[in-house]
């Protein structure tokens, strides 16, 4: 499998390799220099923290506590 490097330094990872490694559009990958070649592997799959607890009882409890704190601080 030989591919040409584009003007922006980009190379397409062949579909066969993406399938073997489970790399999908939007995934992050890690690159490193290994002796005389570049290696690539999928980055550890970490879900972003933003929105992870939306709608959970934990979120509602924290919002309730924050509102109570704000009301207490605003009281004369």
Angle at 70 between CA 65 and CA 75, to 5 degrees: 125
- Report pLDDT for 46: 66
At residue 59, what are phi and psi to the nearest 5 degrees?
A: -60, -45
> Residue 18: is it exposed, middle or buried by C-beta count within 10 angstroms (0-12/13-18/19+)?
middle
Provide the pLDDT for residue 52: 73
Q: Report how far residue 57's alpha carbon sits from residue 66's, in angstroms, rounded to the nearest whole number.
A: 14
Residues lower than pLDDT 70 in the chain: 45-47
Contact present, 23 and 42 (Cβ < 8 Å): yes
pTM for this prediction: 0.52
pLDDT of residue 14: 93
pLDDT at 57: 83
């Amino acid at each position: 499998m030989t591919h040409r490097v584009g003007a922006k330094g980009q190379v397409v990872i062949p579909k066969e390799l993406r399938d073997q490694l489970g790399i999908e559009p939007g995934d992050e990958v890690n690159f490193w220099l290994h002796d005389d070649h570049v290696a690539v592997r999928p980055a550890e799959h970490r879900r972003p923290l933003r929105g992870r607890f939306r709608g959970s009882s934990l979120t509602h409890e924290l919002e309730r506590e924050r509102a109570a704190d704000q009301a207490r601080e605003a009281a004369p």
